[in-house]
Structure 1
Amino acid sequence: MKGTILNYSTQNQTGEILSEEQLQYTFSITDWFETVQPTIGTTVNFELDANGLVTKITAITQPVFTNVSNTPLQKQQHNEEDNYNMFNWFVKCLKNYANFKDRARRKEYWLFTLVYSLISLGLLIIEIILWSYPIITILFILAMIIPSYSVLARRLHDINKSGWAMFISMIPIVGGIILLVWLCTETKNEDNQWGKPAK
């Protein structure tokens, strides 16, 4: 099969390929059969294994552009995200379960938070109606601790703040207000140590 590399994270050593059929596939560096690292915009050949996972990726051509933030491929990816509903954003955050290194736009953070809150509330209401101990709600909240903090860290990265800045909320009253303002701040439209702008 033939496709184009949409993105690649050197930290996670994973990326995505857009096939000629306009399908997206996730790949790992272990499936990259070249001596140089994958580059966004590179045309590649790849195979799918019995489970539908990408394997044996080889480069056909190198990218013809250098300014990644303005490439049609990245714009296409962002356009697809613009069509996401709140559950798509929630699933995206779950896929980035423990990713504390990249960036997340406001929509990603707040829609994840909304779905997380709605599911928690729904589970709690069901368990109250059934007169049962809220064990399922508690387990769900515990399972969401890591993705909640990881998307929070990525949101802060997107406005050029360290993920550790989340602990400013520990300052009584003022800390929580400052953190809320940061979380509502628009994406910084510039590259930083955590990658390209998330929007």
Structure 2
Amino acid sequence: MRGQILHYDDGLGSGLISGDDGARYEFRRADLQQLRPLRQGMRVDFVAEGQSAAKVYIIDNPGPQPATNAGAASAYNTALGDLETTNEDLGLWGYFAKAMAKSFSGEGRARRKEYWSFVLFQLIIVMGAIFAFAMIAGVNGYDYDGASYDASNLSSGMLALGMIIAVVVFIPAGITVTIRRLHDIGLTGWFIFLSLIPYLGSFILLIMSLIPSERRVNKHGPYPKPLD
């Protein structure tokens, strides 16, 4: 069946197609059979499965390529991909807030600035929370009617509770921003399971987090930063 794209949200990785039969069909990024930028009004061919569209092919003519040799065509395709960019350039806090807002979404891409902004503010907030709980729980005892009460156990418990709360709050966002960072360099998010390998796995993930963004549209979304 054929139709045209009514809407596509790259952040959510989903969109809506108006079929030539008058019905509307939802589709996801994974249903796309080509890595090309999407825009409203594009003609597509798809397989209708209930209210969803599968095996979505873009049938708009992309226009003539400026050269016919393989090298020039490859360069053209790369440039075409570069034109699809989020043009997003948030500050450090803005990227941290974005990572927290997407705590339960591993879809899309995260550039290095977003990943390291999250790491930076996570560290600052966790250390600040631990310090605050340590100050609150720092009283070792007090006198009441002449009796001394040893609160060391209470202090240790409060400090441990503060550490647990501070760390647990950031675990979901830490997992998903790492997955999106892997997506950004063209890898599958399943590589996050390398973290289960003591020492070596975390080191490999650290190296991966330092790799620049894949400078083209990939299957996880457009180039996540403004063009130079």
Deviations 1:89-145, CA, capped at 9 Å, x for gaps:
111112212111211000000111110110010010011111151334422321221
The answer to whether the 8 A contact 2:11-2:108 is kept is: no
The answer (yes or no) to whether the contact 1:104–1:198 under 8 Å persists in 2 is yes
Q: Deviations over 1:13-57 (max 9, x none)?
A: 48xxxxxxxxxxxxxx7xxxx9477996659xxxxxxxxxxxxxx
In the alignment, the residues of structure 2 paired with residue 97 and residue 153 of structure 1 have an alpha-carbon distance, to the nearest angstrom, of 11
Aligned residue among 187, 195, 214 for 1:161: 187
Aligned residues of 1:189 and 1:197 also touching (Cα < 8 A):
yes
Structure 1 pair 102–90 and aligned structure 2 pair: CA distance change class (3 A): same
For 1:151, the equivalent position in structure 2 comes to: 177
**Aligned CA distance change for structure 1 residues 144 and 11 (closer, same or farther; 3 Å):** same
Deviation of 1:191 after TM superposition, in Å, equals 2.4
- C-alpha change, 1:85 and 1:9, in structure 2 (3 Å) is closer
> What residue identity is the alignment partner of 2:195?
S
Deviation at 1:173, TM superposition (A): 3.2
Aligned identity (percent) is 25
Segments of 5+ residues of structure 1 without an aligned counterpart are 15-28, 44-64
RCO greater where, 1 or 2, for CA within 8 Å and sep 6 or more?
A: 2
Query: Is structure 2 residue 34 aligned with structure 1 residue 8?
Result: no
Q: Letter of the aligned partner of 1:117 in structure 2?
A: L
Of the structure 1 ranges 181-190 and 163-172, higher mean CA displacement relative to structure 2 is found in 163-172
Tell me how far apart the structure 2 counterparts of residues 40 and 106 of structure 1 sit (CA, whole Å): 25
- Greater alpha carbon shift after TM alignment, 111-120 vs 171-180: 171-180
CA distance in 2, matches of 1:91, 1:179: 22
Query: How far is the alpha carbon of 1:146 from its aligned partner?
Result: 1.0
CA distance in structure 1 between the partners assigned to 2:205 and 2:109 by the alignment: 16
Aligned to 2:83: 70
- Contact 2:13/2:108, CA 8 A, preserved across alignment: no
Alignment of 1:58-137 (within 5 A): 67=80, 69-70=82-83, 74=85, 77-78=87-88, 81=89, 84-131=90-137, 132=155, 133-134=158-159, 135-137=161-163
User: 1:10, 1:113 → 2: CA distance?
Assistant: 21
Structure 2 unaligned regions, length at least 5: 1-5, 17-22, 28-36, 42-61, 64-79, 138-154
TM-score, normalised on structure 1?
0.62
Amino acid of the structure 2 residue aligned with 1:70: L
Classify the secondary structure of the residue corresponding to 2:9.
strand
Match in the other structure for 1:183: 209
Indicate how the Cα distance of structure 1 residues 106 and 10 shifts in structure 2: closer, same or farther if over 3 A, else same: closer
Q: TM-score, normalised by structure 2?
A: 0.55
Cα RMSD, aligned residues only? 3.3
| Residue pair 1:6, 1:40 contacting (<8 A) in 2 also | no
Q: Does 1:172 align with 2:173?
A: no
Once residues 198 and 164 of structure 2 are traced to their aligned partners in structure 1, the CA distance between those partners, rounded to angstroms, is: 26
Contact 1:156 1:163 survives alignment (8 Å): yes
User: Cα distance 1:7–1:105, how it changes in 2: closer, same or farther (>3 A)?
Assistant: farther
Equivalent-residue separation in structure 1 for 2:82 and 2:108 (angstroms): 15
